[in-house]
Amino acid sequence: MYFHFQTLRKYTASLLNTFNEIEVQTRQTDGKLFSKYVPIQFSNKEKSEIMNQLNENQIFSGNSQVLPRMILTFDGLEFAPDRGKNKFLKINTEFKGHKYSFQFDSVPYNFNYTVIAQARGMNEASIIIEQVLAYFNPTYCLRIRELPIDGIDPTSITLDLNSTDIEQQSFDDYSTNIVTIRFSLTLRGNIYPAIKDQEVIKQIQMFIYGEDLIDMDIKDNVVTSNKKIKAQKDDVITYDKDGLNHNKKFDTKPIIKDIIFKDDYLKCIYEDRDTHLENCEFFWEINGKKAKSNKQSFKININLNQFNVKCYMIDEDGNQSETFEKTIKKY
């Protein structure tokens, strides 16, 4: 079954949106303050160093469009057993006509990201650091719509700041420093299984003897009690949309499905319809010769390549099957 909730894409987009509002101010040569938002982009780890994408002339020319900049990288994910959930819990249940739609609960995973910011000088770097750290006290909550289901509110996702590392690189020829800041982040996310459909239970049958039963009505998938009844042996107690139906006799006779022959053994394949695990007796007739066994497998010694077999069975409640007849060909 194909399914794809675009979980990683949604988490990454939410982080890009969160860090897209970092703003710095620099003083121009004319003394005026210049404000700009620090651009951020998503990149793989190999291209995460902004310095690797630019030459020195671009970096130190004073072009405000080059630095500061930020890059978001995805570093991997890992199972989070400390946030383990009941894997059999059904969520997002919905009735659609005669079908029941549901989804098992999500599997907790930690998604690891790194935000790399580079700026000219410690002044720009400190502005970025203060604005980022102010988000976390000690965590930050993201509201993300994880599933494309109507009526489901966005999920509160916790974002942890694990560490903040600062590295300075001096360029004496240009009398300036390039400051690289790495923010290590963990997003406590979820991986959701597929949404499944199954038929709604329309009827329940119970085989009960000698007990007082509560008559129940089923309406709009809600069961309500009514009156007491008395069940007899082999009665079928049926609950459906019209309520309880009683005193329908159920045919509990076993049914022989087939007879197979292998390695000198005849085997009776049957269905015991009263669902009991019980001892049965098997009555065989092989080319007119009769035999009896208390097991469904019966060993015979016969030199014929073809012979006729008849069999019927009786369970311990006295229910007798119809006689099953078959011609066996050994080769």
**CATH number of the domain bearing residue 290:** 2.60.40.10
Whether 207 and 293 share a structural domain: no
Q: What is the pLDDT of residue 225?
A: 46
Q: Give a yes or no: residue 2 inside a domain.
A: no
Q: Give a yes or no: residue 180 inside a domain.
A: yes
**Highest averaged pLDDT of the listed ranges 37-41, 144-148, 313-317:** 37-41
Candidate from 9-23, 45-59, 276-290 with smallest mean pLDDT: 45-59
Q: Is the pLDDT of residue 228 over 80?
A: no
Whole-angstrom distance, CA of residue 155 vs CA of residue 91: 14
Where residue 141 sits, what CATH number does that domain have?
A: 3.30.2000.40
Q: Give a yes or no: residue 1 inside a domain.
A: no
Whether 291 and 214 share a structural domain: no
Determine the structural domain holding residue 216 and report its residue range: 202-249
pTM exceeding 0.75: no
Q: What is the pLDDT of residue 149?
A: 80
Whether 245 and 262 share a structural domain: no
> What is the signed CA dihedral for 133, 135, 137, 141, rounded to 10 degrees?
-140
Whether 129 and 208 share a structural domain: no
Whether 106 and 75 share a structural domain: yes
46 is written with which tokens?
Answer: 């190999």
Q: Give a yes or no: residue 239 inside a domain.
A: yes
Q: What is the pLDDT of residue 93?
A: 74
Q: What is the pLDDT of residue 139?
A: 92
212 is written with which tokens?
Answer: 């007082």
Whether 84 and 125 share a structural domain: yes
The answer to whether 296 and 312 have CB atoms below 8 angstroms apart is no
Q: Give a yes or no: residue 243 inside a domain.
A: yes
Q: Is the pLDDT of residue 263 over 80?
A: yes
Q: Give a yes or no: residue 296 inside a domain.
A: yes
User: What pLDDT, in 10s, does the model give residues 5-30?
Assistant: 899 999 999 999 999 999 998 877 78
Residue 191 exposure: Cα atoms within 13 Å on the Cβ side: 12
Whether 28 and 169 share a structural domain: yes
Residue 258: C-alpha distances to residues 253, 255, 277, 281, 325 (Å): 16, 9, 20, 16, 9
Whether 242 and 264 share a structural domain: no
Q: Give a yes or no: residue 62 inside a domain.
A: yes
Q: Is the pLDDT of residue 175 over 80?
A: no
Whether 160 and 296 share a structural domain: no
Whole-angstrom distance, CA of residue 306 vs CA of residue 122: 98
Whether 26 and 78 share a structural domain: yes
Q: Is the pLDDT of residue 268 over 70?
A: yes
Whether 43 and 124 share a structural domain: yes
Whether 259 and 154 share a structural domain: no
User: What pLDDT, in 10s, does the model give residues 127-156?
Assistant: 999 999 998 988 999 999 988 887 788 999
Q: Give a yes or no: residue 113 inside a domain.
A: yes
Q: What is the pLDDT of residue 27?
A: 79
> Mean pLDDT in the chain?
80
- Residue 138: asked if its preceding bond is cis (omega within 30°), the reply is yes
With H, G, I as helix, E, B as strand and everything else as coil, classify residue 216: strand
Give me the number of domains the chain comprises: 3
